[in-house]
């Protein structure tokens, strides 16, 4: 078995174990390349792992178009979780629509309203959640584990693609004709909200286009943070 085949087989086993031993479980999809790989693996195997996405209200049209592509390709409708309108209105009234450019604190508050709070609702009642995070994505994810304890949400968190490289992701997408966000062909290896994401230059880190005006150490939205620290408190991996 080649290295890519081994990775795929290991990931399938991880997903099967999640479905078997951690039900109910959900997969938080950003609709980016990594998440489309997991979507393909979950839905082709008909695993009982729900898939949801955080519709922040600031996503690219190309990202939103992926929802229809998933529905057409897999006959599956991804559940959407949106921010509380009153919280968005209060933030905009106090700081302006794009106040997140003014400081890391204001940017994280915007992420909290548009992503972190909806995530809590999406995860509620589940035993585990699955992400598309990979170690190779950034310095903040270099110690990522496949299986972790998530004390913030009182559940287990899985990163089945932790060992995958960028090349592994695209090899799988091409080999399996997996639909993907067309922004990836326009220099966007990592895609978040439209005003917080730009295309990168050759040689830049794959997440250099995310919150490009900040230092690399601050480039997390809070979905994987507790009190400013990455949620990797305790490994529960075998």
Active site (catalytic) residues:
221
Q: Find residue 157's DSSP bridge partners.
A: 129, 148
Asked whether the beta carbons of 8 and 36 are under 8 A apart, the reply is no
- Quote the CA–CA distance of 135 and 139 in Å, as a whole number: 8
Give the residue ranges of the annotated binding site for [4Fe-4S] cluster: 110-111, 193, 196
Q: Which of 132, 126, 134 is nearest to 153 (CA)?
A: 126
Q: Find residue 79's DSSP bridge partners.
A: 52
Q: Phi and psi dihedrals of 157, rounded to 5?
A: -115, 135
CA dist list (Å): 13 to 16, 77, 216: 5, 24, 33
């Amino acid at each position: 078995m080649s290295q890519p085949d081994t990775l795929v087989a290991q990931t399938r086993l991880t997903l099967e174990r999640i479905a078997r031993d951690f039900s109910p479980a959900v997969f938080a999809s950003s609709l980016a390349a990594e998440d489309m790989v997991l979507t393909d693996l979950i839905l082709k195997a008909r695993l009982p792992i729900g898939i949801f996405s955080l519709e922040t209200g600031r996503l690219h049209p190309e990202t939103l178009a992926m929802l229809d592509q998933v529905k057409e390709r897999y006959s599956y409708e991804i559940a959407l979780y949106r921010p509380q309108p009153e919280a968005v209105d209060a933030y905009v009234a106090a700081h302006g629509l794009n106040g997140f450019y003014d400081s890391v604190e204001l940017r994280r508050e915007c992420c909290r309203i548009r992503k972190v709070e909806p995530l809590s609702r999406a995860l509620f009642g589940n035993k585990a959640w699955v992400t598309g995070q990979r170690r190779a994505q950034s310095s903040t994810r270099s110690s990522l584990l496949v299986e972790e304890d998530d004390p913030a949400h009182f559940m287990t968190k899985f990163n089945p693609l932790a060992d995958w490289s960028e090349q592994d992701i695209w090899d799988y997408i091409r080999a399996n004709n997996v639909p993907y966000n067309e922004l990836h062909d326009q220099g966007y290896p990592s895609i978040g909200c439209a005003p917080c994401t730009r295309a990168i230059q050759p040689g830049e880190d794959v997440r250099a286009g995310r919150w490009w005006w900040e230092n690399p150490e601050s480039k997390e939205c809070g979905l994987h943070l507790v009190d400013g620290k990455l949620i990797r408190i305790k490994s529960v991996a075998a």
